Structure formats: C-alpha cells, structure tokens
Amino acid sequence: MDQTSHSRIFVERTLAIIKPDVVHKAEEIQDLILRSGFTVLQKRRLLLSPEQCSDFYADQYGKLFFPSLTAFMSSGPIVALMLARDNAIAHWKSIIGPASIAKAREMQPDCLRAKYGTSELKNALHGSESFHAAVKEIKFMFPNSVIEPFPSKEATEEYLSRYVNPVLLRGLTELCKEKPPKPCIWLADWLIKNNPNQPQICDGFIVEDEG
C-alpha cells in the first residue's frame, strides 16, 4: 500500500513537545493544537535528565549544538503530546514552522515558532520529522503506548456500514417481533449469538475465518 492510500485509511500520529522556554504557555498552545484539527491522544508533563535528552536526540549526536540542546531540554519541565489527525506529521510541521527562528519569522511569520520562539536554540516546539521518527519518539515519551493503525472517520464509517449496521438492523427487527421484557439484555444475547466474526468450532478446534 502506498503512502497516499495509507493516509486515506489511517489517521497519522505525531509527537509534539512544548519545550522548557514556553511550558508556561502550554494551555494556550494546546488550545491552538485542538483548533487546528488535532486530537490529543496522550499528554505528559515531565522533566528529562541530560542523559534522557541525549538518547532522545541521538541522531543529532556529534553536531556542535548537541551539548547546548541537551542542556536546554533538561533545564526545566516539558509537555509531550501524542497528536492524531489526517496527515498529522506534515500538518504539525507546517504549523510550527522552520527550526530556525530567523527562517520562521521571515518565511512563515504566522507559525508557532515565529510567535513563541526566542532564539535558534529556544525555538519553543518540537515535531516529528517522519513516520519512522514519530513512532520512535512516541515510544520514547509514552513507553506504554501501543502504536497501531488508527482508523480514520471514513474507514470507521465504512466498517460500520458494511459489518455492524446490517447485523444490528437484523437484531433490532427480531427484537421488535419478540418484544421481550428485558430488551437490552435480549439484544445483547442475540448479538453475541449472531456475531458474524466469531470463530467457528469444528471437531474441538477453532477454525479462523481467513476471509
């Protein structure tokens, strides 16, 4: 499946970090995030050690700014957010703008880094660069999270229309015919018995539907 069709089926996730220099503006920034169409799946406020910052920015190791970067990122609390929406990685990158404050102010004066950043080092926000980076960074900040495909609204509606609604309609039709004294319990039992996705038992073995 190519990346274009993948993005239509699944909602992307990306990692956003509100850095120590603007953590006092966290609620204001989160409000902007929500108004930009993102869903905040998880959020943590934490204080990283210099060693943890070194691990997180390991791909920057050896660059001249690396010591300053790890010192700054461990200088105070940060807020890490797992964000989701269509095309989340590219959209979040476009909202925060270039990593360089000078470029951000010149090229995208309305971006978040131009608004909140104060220097090349203190550029306010972090965003994952790619799908691979997002998976890695989300795992780092939210180690207990399960990174699985997150169905889009369209995919969810299609699944409900194709697999759930027909069965539910049959159950409600039978419910109207039966008129049981406890309709919710009756319907729950009927749905369990008529679940089209349940495995079939054959000679003591579970036969999985390969369709």
Supply the residues annotated as catalytic.
Answer: 126
User: In this structure, which amino acid lies at residue 191?
Assistant: L
Q: Of 181, 202, 184, 6, nearest to 86 (Cα)?
A: 6
| Nearest by Cα to 3 from 182, 131, 160, 148 | 131
List CB contacts of 77: < 8 A, sequence separation 6 or more: 20, 23, 45, 46, 47
Count other C-beta atoms under 10 Å from residue 201's C-beta: 9
